[in-house]
Amino acid sequence: MQKPKLIWLTVVVFGLTTPLALIGVPVYAFLYGFDLWQVAAMVIGVAFCEISITAGYHRLWSHRAYDAHWLVRLFFAIGGTYATQNSILHWASDHRRHHLHVDDNQRDPYSAKRGFWYAHIGWMLRDYDTHKDTTYKNCNDLKKDPIVMWQHRHYMPLVLGINFGIPISLGLLHGDLIGMLLLAGVARLVIAHHFTFFINSLAHIWGNQPYSDKNTSRDNGFLALLTMGEGYHNYHHCFQRDYRNGIRWWHFDPTKWLIRVLSWCRLTKNLYRTPLERIESARAQMLLNTTAKKIARLPHADVLMLRLHDEYDVLMNKINEFSKAKKQWMALRKASMMEGYDVQALKLKVEMLKQSFQEQKKQWLLLNARLA
């Protein structure tokens, strides 16, 4: 079977930047050395590229997890252009198809089931995608954003201007043009590229699945460190509209922190958070499946299984009671109908039901730990 044709622009970009980063940078460092200003320019550049992809391309535009002021959108559009990962419109279109058809080797643009190399970079080197829509019908909402369309129409001039303009300007100011081009230009681009690509590849191969095993996505705290918090990928695939990827206080998710801080400054709004009961229901279901597989091989498995399912049913009933009470509270508050109700009593009921299901959750986790 004949392979799809090469996309020569992508091949040339990767073919030039990768050896320059892997060979050119170390050779120049050995012969001439780099100073802290050049290293700082590279690190800040990587951060600028990554945060623009994660907070902008990904959570803002692809998933509409929040709304942002035009200044924030412009900042992310410029940073995304500096990252050189195609226009917002194109990137979001591919990513929405990835979520819609995840792990489908024919319709997922970077299906991890086709192997690490393909998901990481191979899908960009050849014209494999027979289902791509150059009209971007799945991004009609983004076509209404003037910043998205401005960047899309002028993408190539912007890429060349920003990716050469910033390192050259920094190099002229610093006094070492070649060194700055290598670190702030080439190395910065290669590092930002592959850190982002790890989410398409490693985050579908390496890690755990606390929320679902219906697709290959994984949660991986180490990858979160490299990708501004994008490593909690199993959670993201289950609850893709959430502006957070790391939902625990100890999760490293600077993208989430930035979005939240910007909301305090009234530069972002309508931050979407997945309801707690949906998250806990998914975790409970996944834990039930995992523990059931383990105890199926044990003596008296039927008795253990019955106890496991009984505890699970109690937990789910408590979660559902809390969910109904919370929805009632929110609906009444939204409709400004609280006058006819005992506000404190209704609020207290919600809090008590939340505490009740969380106590049951502890018993559920303890039982699973004992049976596993």
At 139-178, the pLDDT tens digits run: 999 999 999 999 999 999 999 999 999 999 999 999 999 9
pLDDT of residue 1: 64
> In angstroms, how far is CA 155 from the centroid of its own chain?
23
User: Which of 202, 207, 365, 231 lies closest to 290, judged by CA?
Assistant: 365
Residues 6+ apart with CB under 8 A from 66: 59, 60, 243, 259, 263, 268, 269, 270, 271, 272
Distance CA 59, CA 244 (A): 8
Which of 41-45, 109-113, 145-149, 339-343 is predicted least confidently? 339-343
Mean pLDDT of the chain: 91
Distance CA 160, CA 250 (A): 39
- Helical packing angle, 254-264 and 36-51, nearest 10°: 80
pLDDT surpassing 80 at residue 338: no
Decide if 56 contacts 73 (C-beta within 8 A).
yes
Decide if 85 contacts 53 (C-beta within 8 A).
yes
With H, G, I as helix, E, B as strand and everything else as coil, classify residue 268: strand
Residue with tokens 């095993």: 213
pLDDT of residue 194: 97
Kindly list the domain boundaries of the chain, sorted by start residue.
Answer: 8-269, 276-371
User: Which of 92, 84, 128, 88 lies closest to 110, judged by CA?
Assistant: 128
pLDDT surpassing 70 at residue 11: yes
Which of 117-131, 171-185, 227-241 is predicted least confidently? 117-131
Distance CA 106, CA 131 (A): 8
Distance CA 291, CA 284 (A): 10
Distance CA 142, CA 144 (A): 5
Structure tokens at 89: 């419109």
Whole-model pTM?
Answer: 0.91
Q: Calculate mean pLDDT across residues 243-249.
A: 94
Alpha carbon separation from 155 to 17, 59, 71, 125, 164 (Å, rounded): 19, 20, 18, 19, 14
User: Phi/psi of residue 6, each to 5°?
Assistant: -70, 145
> In angstroms, how far is CA 93 from the centroid of its own chain?
15
Q: Calculate mean pLDDT across residues 2-18.
A: 92
pLDDT surpassing 70 at residue 339: no
**pLDDT tens digits, residue range 127-141?**
987 777 789 999 999
Q: Compute, in degrees rounded to 10, the torsion defined by CA atoms 202, 203, 208, 211.
A: -160
pLDDT of residue 188: 98
Of residues 299 and 68, the one with the higher pLDDT is 68
**Residue 364 binned pLDDT confidence (cut-offs 50, 70, 90):** confident
Q: Calculate mean pLDDT across residues 45-54.
A: 98
Of residues 201 and 362, the one with the higher pLDDT is 201
Residues 6+ apart with CB under 8 A from 277: 319, 320, 322, 323, 326, 357
pLDDT of residue 335: 63
The proportion of the chain whose per-residue pLDDT surpasses 70, expressed as a percent, equals: 96
The proportion of the chain whose per-residue pLDDT surpasses 90, expressed as a percent, equals: 72
Decide if 160 contacts 101 (C-beta within 8 A).
no
pLDDT of residue 230: 97
Distance CA 138, CA 121 (A): 23
pLDDT surpassing 70 at residue 334: no
**Residue 349 binned pLDDT confidence (cut-offs 50, 70, 90):** confident
